[in-house]
Structure 1
Amino acid sequence: MKNITPSQLLFLSLLLLCFTSLAFGQNTTHPDEVDALKEIGKTLGNKNWDTDIDPCSNQPPWNVTPEENSVSCNCSIPTDTFCHVVSIILKSQNLSGTLPSELVRLPYLQKIHLSRNYLNGTIPPQWGFMKLVNISILGNRITGPIPKELGNISTLKVLALEFNQLSGELPPELGNLPQLERLLLTSNYFTGNLPATFATLTTLKHMVMYGSGFSGPIPSGISFLNNLTDLWFPRVLRSCNLIGMVPEYLGNVTSLRSLH
């Protein structure tokens, strides 16, 4: 048999590695993201994740029920041999930790859904430097103000912060969100007026903030939100303190289907 040169041996080894990858499935999760998930799990108080199992394997404990308890990944990024975490859903999992600033270590993360848990603490300002599309932390025990840094998330479409213990004034920087479609602030302890900068949220479709503690008039700039279909300002629960008559300029919002 002809002797195999070192270069030929290297080529055969790489070829074998390629066929092995094809035979046994997709790429694995990036090691940095596996380490990040360990820290995120600790911060949230989630004791069910097991990083001995690949997080992007689509297997328990990383995917138990897709709509309530799952981690989703993208394994098809061009020129990238790793899978990357794009979604974390942990709804109604009895989590009692805090919101993790370590999410910034997941550079491809788009969706974080932590609704109906017992999470406390504040919203990490570090989230404002990510490319998130959906933030949903409704039904927890989150306190403090909304960080102005969230106004930097140019990709954000959904901000659902309902039924928490958030306080302070809304940062005007939220008016810088060019793709925001849903702003849900119901049942918190906010103070002050609604920012006039909300007039620039031209993609906004649903704004729900009853029982949130706001005062002052409804901003006239809302009349320029041509995509707005649902506007909820009722005086229920810890009722808002919005004053004055329902302004006539709301009649200019031709897309509006419901005004409560």
Structure 2
Amino acid sequence: MGAKYWTFNAGTCRIETVGLTEKQPKGSEGNTECDCNFENGTVCHIATLTLMGYSLPGLLPPQLVKLPYLRKISVLVNRLSGEIPKELGNITTLTDLNLEANQFSGSLPTELGNLVNLQTLMLSSNQLTGYLPETFSGLRILTDFRISDNNFSGTLPGWVQNWKNLTRLRISDTNGPNQEFPLLRNMTSLVRLVLRNCNIAGEIPAYVWSLKNLEML
């Protein structure tokens, strides 16, 4: 991922050095966490990978699929570019994927719809295009979905009704014709709803004001 300095201590399962310089940038965070509950506590696997705020260039390596017990990936606030690797869809243990504030481009891989354990998917502030893949309808335990500040097209599809556990939905700056307010009636757990610059026309449906948990619209 473009890091010039990289030191990983396998004994402690910790990143000791990472970045473009030896000095860690202010506000950055490099961290791994391991799960050692394998083979009676004799084998550890990386479960969490965090590389935040390093301005790392390059691509997100598809070789991450070789870490089959990953639960969380967070690489926000870097300069990673290219397409999101479709291979991430094979890491079905993932519960949290945060790729915000990078330079990813292209369409969303349909394979991400295989991540049935995913609870948070954050892709805001990139250069992504295209439409939401229908395979995402299977992400039924999502609680937080953010794709604002990209270049997506089209309307919010009706199958988002499957996301009944969603508490946060943030979409903005979509391209395409005017559309009615999307059908979100089943999202009774919504706390924050942002649909900015999405070419929505007409009235906000009455049921929205009946969402008891909604704090921000």
**TM-score range normalised by the length of the shorter chain:** 0.7 to 0.9
- How far did residue 250 of structure 1 move? 1.3
- From 91, 101, 104, the equivalent of 1:153 is 91
- How far did residue 46 of structure 1 move? 2.5
Percent identity for Structure 1 against Structure 2? 38
Residue of structure 1 in register with 2:22 after alignment: none
- How far did residue 120 of structure 1 move? 1.2
Residue of structure 1 in register with 2:51 after alignment: 114
Residue of structure 1 in register with 2:199 after alignment: none
Segments of structure 1 that go 5 or more residues without pairing to the other structure are 1-39, 85-107
What's the CA shift string for 1:148-204, capped at 9, x where partnerless?
Answer: 111111100111001100000001111111110111111111111111111110011
Matched, 1:197 2:135: yes
CA distance 1:117–1:242, shift in 2 (3 Å): farther
User: Within 1, Cα distance between the matches of 2:48 and 2:72?
Assistant: 5
Matched, 1:45 2:4: yes
Identify which range, 136-145 or 70-79, moves more after superposition.
70-79
User: Within 2, Cα distance between the matches of 1:187 and 1:132?
Assistant: 24
User: Within 1, Cα distance between the matches of 2:3 and 2:57?
Assistant: 9
User: Within 1, Cα distance between the matches of 2:178 and 2:61?
Assistant: 35
- How far did residue 219 of structure 1 move? 1.4
Matched, 1:170 2:97: no
Matched, 1:126 2:60: no
Point out the structure with max Rg over C-alpha: 1
CA distance 1:224–1:76, shift in 2 (3 Å): closer
Residue of structure 2 in register with 1:255 after alignment: 189
- How far did residue 78 of structure 1 move? 4.2
Contact 2:31 2:49 in 1 (8 A): no
Could you say what the CA RMSD is over the residues aligned between the two structures, in angstroms?
2.9
CA distance 1:78–1:254, shift in 2 (3 Å): same
Residue of structure 2 in register with 1:218 after alignment: 156
Q: What is the number of equivalent residue pairs in this alignment?
A: 184
Contact 1:167 1:190 in 2 (8 A): yes
CA distance 1:214–1:76, shift in 2 (3 Å): closer
Segments of structure 2 that go 5 or more residues without pairing to the other structure are 18-27, 195-217
- How far did residue 254 of structure 1 move? 1.9
Matched, 1:232 2:170: yes
Matched, 1:141 2:79: yes
- Partner AA of 1:244 in structure 2: N
